[in-house]
Amino acid sequence: AGAKKSSYEIVTLTTWLLNQERDGVIDNEMTIVLSSISTACKQIAALVLRAPISNLTGVQGAVNVQGEDQKKLDVVSNESSGRTGVIASEEEDVPVAVEQSYSGNYIVVFDPLDGSSNIDAAVSTGSIFGIYAPNDECIANVDDNGTLDSVEQRCIVSVCQPGSNLLAAGYCMYSSSVIFVLTVGTGVYVFTLDPMYGEFVLTQEKVQIPKSGKIYAFNEGNYALWDDKLKKYMDSLKEPGDSGKPYSARYIGSLVGDFHRTMLYGGIYGYPRDKKSKNGKLRLLYECAPMSFIVEQAGGKGSDGSQRILDITPTEVHQRVPLYIGSVEEVEKVEKFLA
């Protein structure tokens, strides 16, 4: 994993972003977008921390566009999230265009509060985001065809870009520490919220995921619904091998938490397709693609079992895709079993 910063050289996220802007890595608009996302994450962290006190646990009574119960905090988190040119969110039916004056043209995709089924037990949750440049080509094609003319439809087309177009991605994990992880395409940087000052402080830079690792995170409750090849892979992890020790199972049921551990300790996180969920559960645009960009920046791999997640162009905003993500050797191992 990346080098730890010593406690006396404090670099806040704000300073770090300004340094990136000064060095020409990101432009001023990107600095503003990332800084407003980090503020939204601090607000969500405060809400999560106080959820049992302020009666924010439990369901909202509505279901989101994907037929899932919305937790009260899903709704509040979605409302607290930063604003940019176009946003697509797990909690919004269709992408939303936002007043340009405030925010510029970047396209932000996000899952405001992922793993929210953990909230009522005060277990880790997270927010995930990805940032794309506006896709002028798509918008121009749409105008020429004259087929999609509402702002809503144009937004759908412009957010449906492959992950390889991502300019930045990150997540915030609400856990024993509040951790903000960011890449702008120059490696992975980890910031920790200092509760004394309310600032994110750089705590790890250029994080590298171990090439292999003996921890797996899958919801094995679905085993009976899996394909035989995947069952064989899972069985193989339980064989003690040369070291005499099989793999260890760890599963929080919170992608951000399971991913963060995988990135630091090595191993694999998987959400396969199964007999009931043909494309698995996780969403390509705002869950799998941002995480895959981050893992690649850390030297790891994100795959749907046969192809690179970042090469898949979504055709729908809430499209699902199987996900295998983590250490290169571990992801390649499952790909071999599935081939």
Residues that bind ligand AHM (CB under 6 A): 68, 90, 111, 114-116, 219, 253-255, 258, 281
Nearest to ligand AHM of 260, 301 (CB atom): 260
- The residues of the shown chain that bind Mg ion, judged by CB under 5 A, are 111, 114
Nearest to ligand AHM of 85, 257 (CB atom): 257
**DSSP string for residues in 46-101:** HHHHHTTTTT--SEEEEE-TTSPEEEHHHHHHHHHS---SEEEETTSSS-EE--HH
Phi, psi at residue 318, to the nearest 5°?
-100, 25
Please give the structure tokens belonging to residue 113.
């509060």
Nearest to Mg ion of 114, 330 (CB atom): 114
CA distance 160 to 153: 11
Nearest to ligand AHM of 111, 296 (CB atom): 111
Find which of ligand AHM, Mg ion, none residue 68 binds, CB within 5 to 8 Å per kind. ligand AHM
Q: Rounded to the nearest whole angstrom, what is the least distance from the CB of residue 77 to ligand AHM in the complex?
A: 11
Nearest to Mg ion of 17, 317 (CB atom): 317
CA distance 171 to 257: 10
Q: Rounded to the nearest whole angstrom, what is the least distance from the CB of residue 126 to Mg ion in the complex?
A: 9
Find which of ligand AHM, Mg ion, none residue 116 binds, CB within 5 to 8 Å per kind. ligand AHM
Which residue in the block uniquely carries the two structure tokens 């994990």? 173
3 state SS of 155? helix
State the CB neighbour count (10 A cutoff) for residue 51.
21
∠ Cα 124 319 254 (to 5°): 10
Find which of Mg ion, ligand AHM, none residue 330 binds, CB within 5 to 8 Å per kind. none
Find which of ligand AHM, Mg ion, none residue 304 binds, CB within 5 to 8 Å per kind. none
Nearest to ligand AHM of 58, 253 (CB atom): 253
Nearest to Mg ion of 114, 258 (CB atom): 114
Q: Which residue is nearest to Mg ion (CB)?
A: 114
**DSSP string for residues in 221-280:** GGGGGS-HHHHHHHHHHTS-TTTT--PEE---S-HHHHHHHHHHH--EEEE---SS-BTB
Find which of ligand AHM, Mg ion, none residue 219 binds, CB within 5 to 8 Å per kind. ligand AHM
Which residue in the block uniquely carries the two structure tokens 């899932």? 68
Q: Rounded to the nearest whole angstrom, what is the least distance from the CB of residue 286 to Mg ion in the complex?
A: 8
Q: Rounded to the nearest whole angstrom, what is the least distance from the CB of residue 9 to ligand AHM in the complex?
A: 34
Q: Rounded to the nearest whole angstrom, what is the least distance from the CB of residue 114 to Mg ion in the complex?
A: 4
Residue 182 near residue 34, CB atoms below 8 Å: yes
Q: Rounded to the nearest whole angstrom, what is the least distance from the CB of residue 141 to Mg ion in the complex?
A: 30
Residue 323 near residue 308, CB atoms below 8 Å: no
Find which of Mg ion, ligand AHM, none residue 254 binds, CB within 5 to 8 Å per kind. ligand AHM
